[in-house]
Each structure stands twice: as C-alpha cells, then as structure tokens.
Amino acid sequence: MLPDGYPDTYYARTATSVAEHPALSGETRADVCVIGGGFTGLAAALNLAEQGASVVLLEAERIGYGASGRCGGLVGSGQRKDVLETEALFGYERSRALWDLAEDAKDEIRRRVAAHDIDCDLADGQLVGVHKRSYLGHAAELAAVLEECYDYPGCRALSAGETRERVATRDFLEGFWDPGALTLHPLNFALGLARAAEAAGVRIHERSRVTGYTQATLAEVSTVEGKVTADAVVLGCNGYLGKLEKRVAGTIMPINNFMVATEPLGKRRALELIDGFYGVHDSRFIVNYFRLSPDYRLLFGGGENYRAGFPKDIRGFVRPYVLKLFPQLSDVGIDYAWGGTLSITVNRLPHFGRLEPNLWFAQGYSGHGISTASFAGKLIAEAIGGDRSRFDLMAGLPSQRFPGGTLLRYPGMVLGMLYYALKDRIG
Ligand SMILES: Cc1cc2nc3c(=O)[nH]c(=O)nc-3n(C[C@H](O)[C@H](O)[C@H](O)COP(=O)(O)OP(=O)(O)OC[C@H]3O[C@@H](n4cnc5c(N)ncnc54)[C@H](O)[C@@H]3O)c2cc1C
C-alpha cells in the first residue's frame, strides 16, 4: 500500500511503519527549530535532542519525502571526490582529515541502524564499473593509495573478466571494488531516524511548510498555521530549498534524477545479473547506479533533467539507460518509476556554513548525500553544542556561486552537462 503523501516509489511501497506527525498549529518554543525532514534535518534533530536540546522539526511534506526517501541507496566511501582528487586540491593532511570524517559518517550509519534497530536492508560493498579506456588504471592507483596512505585496505581493481563475472554487462572495461561501502533502503533509514528522534524528544511536524523566518537572536520560524520561536535554526532543505533562503540558493543547482524498479527477476536471474546486494555505479559523469532489492528487482538510476518538473514518462526516460548496460533485460517490465531532486555545487564539494550566529545549513552533497547529509546533521549539532572542530573542516571547503545566480544558472549548467555527457561517450 502507498502511504499517504508519498510519491509512488518502490521505497514508499516497501516502507516499514510510516508514522503520521501532526502539522504545526499555533505557537511553540524550542531551543532549535530544524527545517526539513531528510537525512540532514533528521540527523541534526536526533543529535541535538540527545545533547539535551528541545527540538522542533518542520517538514513541508512527509518524513523522507525529498531526495532522502527516493535515492539510490548507495553509501559510498570518502567524499564525493576521491582521495586522489582531494589530495591534489588540498594536500595530504586535509585530504586525510576529510577521508577520516567520511569514514566516521559511514560508521555513524552502521551505529544508528544497530542502536535503533532500523530495518533498512543494510548491506556491504560497492563496485565501480569503468566505462572508458582513458580511465583504465585509475582503480589500481586508487586502491594502492587508499591502502598505503589512508589505512583503508581491501579495495582492489578488478580485471574486465572479474568485473563481468560479478556484473553481467559488457559496458565495464574494469572495476573498482570497495568492500567497506554500504547500501540501504533510504526511506526506511529516514523513517528509522525519525522514530529515534521522536523517542529522544524531538517534536516532529509534517505538512508544515516554513514560509519564512526572522533573523533576530531569537528566531521566529513561520508556517501557514503556526510559529516556532527558537534560539537556533537549522536549514536542511537541500534541492527542495526553493526561495526560502536566497543567500545560499545561489551556491547550489537543483537537478532531477530518475530511478526505476523492475518487476521481480527471480533469484537466479537477478544473481546472474549482479552477484550480491552491493551497490554498483559506472564512471560516467551522468552516472548510472544500480543494485538488487531483497525481492530480486533491479533498482536502477539513470538520466537527469535540469528544469522544474519530471518527464511525463519516467519509465520510458530511464529504460534506455537500463538497456544500454543490460540489453538482456529487454523482456523485463518496470513496476515503479520516479524522480527526485538533489542539489549539486560548482565544485561538487558540499556546502556547510552559518549564515547568522544562530542559522546553520548544509547542502549541495552532489549525489553523495546519504552519508554526508546524515553526518552534516551530527556536525551541526556538535557545533551548536559548542564543538565546531569537525563542522569547520567541512565549512572550510571552498564554495562558489553558480554563474548567473539563481535566475541564469540553468543555461550555463545545461551546456556544461552536455559537454560532460559528450566526454562520457568519447573513449
Ligand atoms: C534520484 C536520486 C538518487 C540519489 N542517489 C543517491 C545515492 O545512491 N547515494 C547518495 O549518497 N546520494 C544519493 N542521492 C542524493 C541524496 O539523496 C541527497 O544528497 C540527500 O538525501 C539529501 O538529504 P537532505 O536531507 O539534505 O535533503 P532532502 O532529503 O531532499 O530533504 C529536504 C527536505 O526539506 C523539505 N523542505 C523543503 N523546503 C521546506 C520548507 N520551506 N519547510 C519545511 N520543509 C521543507 C523537503 O520537503 C524535503 O523533505 C540521490 C538523490 C536523488 C534525487
């Protein structure tokens, strides 16, 4: 059954115990008001409540309604850029600190799942399929650097033959195997975090869209029917931010990404396609990502658009991406197809910061948001609690506004994406 107020996704159809939270009505007081019920907001609220703060969380729709409840479920290691890139940008020390933080972020997911008994199909492993000749050799170099310089053994390059034994596509020329990455059911993880937050004392209000807030020492956060007065505000709206906070809207670009869930393939056929429940993505700039569900469907994400609104026929839009990698699935039906909005930044590094002494935000995870967003919430909670060390490491990453600002960023973006999509096709 599809729970009320959620898009028709495989995740919503397989959600375990969706709780209803009342809309905010009237006036209330809190130490912290968190805006947004995705991984950023939920983790901030949960950690703040555990630190002893009184917390109100306002979500415009339902818990996990945004990217967090619709995403691919692949939890990659490290930051969105690999350590070879972060080291070239920032040097070893800072790159190492960013890597260690990302490892803490994965550990935090494992810890939360265990501590709150969250039933979200957590599984290990990720395989990256290299689609382009000019990228050959990168996997071996990355695995060696991770082992030698980042104390992260276990990754390895896979030959074309080994890769094809694991994932039945002729598209991959070699592979990179990371046994320490994770996959999960993202909506069930979000719902589990919400349950834990509520148990810790967070007052959650769904269907409570924030229409604006004042920026005085004591902030007043307004919805259509209510108001929260709070000492601090956390902004966790990411790709769904809209015009709520113009000062940070210009550093992110909301983009739409699409997913399908095939009909169940049956155990034998599914495991012939991918030999386990780990995540897989390719090396394309506009990435294809996929994994098996516990009921042996292929969950596949591919294709993007850069305007408000999704294609009318999302099944038809994503299907060619599936068949390019897996032509053997031409007879397989698609049961669910959906889109979601995420936000990217110019340099694909996340954007954390503080706009006022009492207004905190994190956004722009650029497709690497499950671990980064849920850790962002924890780091914001630490910072509000007085320890800014780990928050500042992330907030110190360079951020840029998109050329053209919120009005004109799209034409430049579309040209840029077309350029990289073309590069994807050239060997
Ligand atoms: C199709 C898709 C696939 C993806 N796949 C992956 C993946 O495999 N791995 C990965 O790591 N990342 C992936 N991502 C990215 C990842 O999902 C996001 O980075 C992450 O979920 C962001 O979490 P968030 O809480 O910041 O934002 P969201 O989950 O988008 O939450 C923002 C919330 O804020 C609410 N909101 C907005 N405005 C207001 C307001 N005015 N008042 C109250 N509430 C408001 C929205 O309703 C929404 O629920 C994917 C994203 C998409 C769309």
- Same domain for 203 and 232, yes or no, is yes
Give the residue carrying structure tokens 């994400």. Answer: 301
Hey, which bits of 96-173 come out as E strands? 123-130, 156-158
Would you say residue 11 lies in a domain?
no
CATH code, domain carrying 228 = 3.50.50.60
User: What pLDDT, on a 0 to 100 scale, did the predictor assign at position 216?
Assistant: 84
User: What pLDDT, on a 0 to 100 scale, did the predictor assign at position 89?
Assistant: 97
Which residue is closest in CA terms to ligand 1's atom 33?
A: 36
Would you say residue 1 lies in a domain?
no
- Same domain for 212 and 295, yes or no, is no
Overall domain count for the chain: 2
Q: 73 C-alpha to center of ligand 1: Å? A: 12
- Give me the domain span that covers residue 381: 18-122+184-251+345-396
Would you say residue 280 lies in a domain?
yes
Q: 84 C-alpha to center of ligand 1: Å? A: 27
Burial class (CB in 10 A: 0-12, 13-18, 19+), 111: exposed
Would you say residue 78 lies in a domain?
yes
User: What pLDDT, on a 0 to 100 scale, did the predictor assign at position 204?
Assistant: 98
User: What pLDDT, on a 0 to 100 scale, did the predictor assign at position 21?
Assistant: 98
Burial class (CB in 10 A: 0-12, 13-18, 19+), 362: buried
Would you say residue 4 lies in a domain?
no
Which tokens hold the place of 32?
A: 């912290």
Q: Is the minimum distance from the CB of 366 to ligand 1 under 6 angstroms?
A: no
Q: Is the minimum distance from the CB of 37 to ligand 1 under 6 angstroms?
A: yes
Would you say residue 7 lies in a domain?
no
- Same domain for 136 and 91, yes or no, is no
Task: Name the nearest CA neighbour of 40 among 393, 422, 362.
Answer: 362
- Same domain for 33 and 109, yes or no, is yes
- Same domain for 320 and 293, yes or no, is yes
Would you say residue 207 lies in a domain?
yes
- Mutual orientation of helices 92-115 and 369-384 as an angle, nearest 10°? 90
Q: What is the dihedral of CA 329, 330, 335, 340, to 10 degrees?
A: 80
**How are beta strands 55-58 and 26-35 bridged, if at all?**
parallel
| CA–CA gap between residue 326 and residue 304 (Å, rounded) | 19
Q: Is the minimum distance from the CB of 68 to ligand 1 under 6 angstroms?
A: yes
Q: Is the minimum distance from the CB of 105 to ligand 1 under 6 angstroms?
A: no
Which residue is closest in CA terms to ligand 1's atom 48?
A: 66
CB 282 within 8 A of CB 128: yes
- Same domain for 206 and 234, yes or no, is yes
Q: 361 C-alpha to center of ligand 1: Å? A: 14
- Same domain for 194 and 333, yes or no, is no
| CA–CA gap between residue 233 and residue 33 (Å, rounded) | 5
User: What pLDDT, on a 0 to 100 scale, did the predictor assign at position 285?
Assistant: 86
Q: 58 C-alpha to center of ligand 1: Å? A: 15
User: What pLDDT, on a 0 to 100 scale, did the predictor assign at position 410?
Assistant: 65
- Same domain for 361 and 329, yes or no, is no
Q: Is the minimum distance from the CB of 79 to ligand 1 under 6 angstroms?
A: no
- Same domain for 109 and 208, yes or no, is yes
Which residue is closest in CA terms to ligand 1's atom 53?
A: 340
Task: Indicate which atom in ligand 1 lies nearest the CA of residue 343.
Answer: 19
Which residue is closest in CA terms to ligand 1's atom 9?
A: 74
- Same domain for 90 and 157, yes or no, is no
CB 38 within 8 A of CB 68: yes
Q: 398 C-alpha to center of ligand 1: Å? A: 22
- Same domain for 351 and 278, yes or no, is no
Which tokens hold the place of 307?
A: 């305007």
Would you say residue 12 lies in a domain?
no
Q: Is the minimum distance from the CB of 60 to ligand 1 under 6 angstroms?
A: yes
The one-digit pLDDT tens for each residue of the chain (427 residues) are 999 999 999 999 999 989 999 999 999 999 999 999 999 999 999 999 999 999 999 999 999 999 999 999 999 999 999 999 999 999 999 999 999 999 999 999 999 999 999 999 999 999 999 999 999 999 999 999 999 999 999 999 999 999 999 999 999 999 999 999 999 999 999 999 999 999 999 999 999 999 999 988 999 999 999 999 999 999 999 999 999 999 999 999 999 999 999 999 999 999 999 999 999 999 998 999 999 999 999 999 999 998 889 999 999 999 999 999 999 999 999 999 999 999 999 999 999 999 999 999 999 999 999 999 999 999 999 999 999 999 999 999 999 898 876 666 666 666 666 666 666 666 6
Tell me the three state secondary structure of residue 287: coil
Which tokens hold the place of 387?
A: 């320890």
Q: 33 C-alpha to center of ligand 1: Å? A: 18
Q: Is the minimum distance from the CB of 367 to ligand 1 under 6 angstroms?
A: yes
The type of residue at 233 is V
User: What pLDDT, on a 0 to 100 scale, did the predictor assign at position 402?
Assistant: 86
CB 393 within 8 A of CB 97: yes
- Same domain for 157 and 192, yes or no, is no
| CA–CA gap between residue 91 and residue 94 (Å, rounded) | 6
Tell me the three state secondary structure of residue 310: coil
Tell me the three state secondary structure of residue 171: coil
Among 183, 213, 228, 237, which is best to mutate for testing ligand 1, by the most ligand atoms less than 8 A from CB? 237
Task: Indicate which atom in ligand 1 lies nearest the CA of residue 41.
Answer: 25
CATH code, domain carrying 325 = 3.30.9.10
DSSP state of 155: -
Which tokens hold the place of 378?
A: 């924890």
C-beta atoms surrounding 179 within 10 Å: 14
| CA–CA gap between residue 301 and residue 319 (Å, rounded) | 10
**How are beta strands 174-183 and 26-35 bridged, if at all?**
unpaired
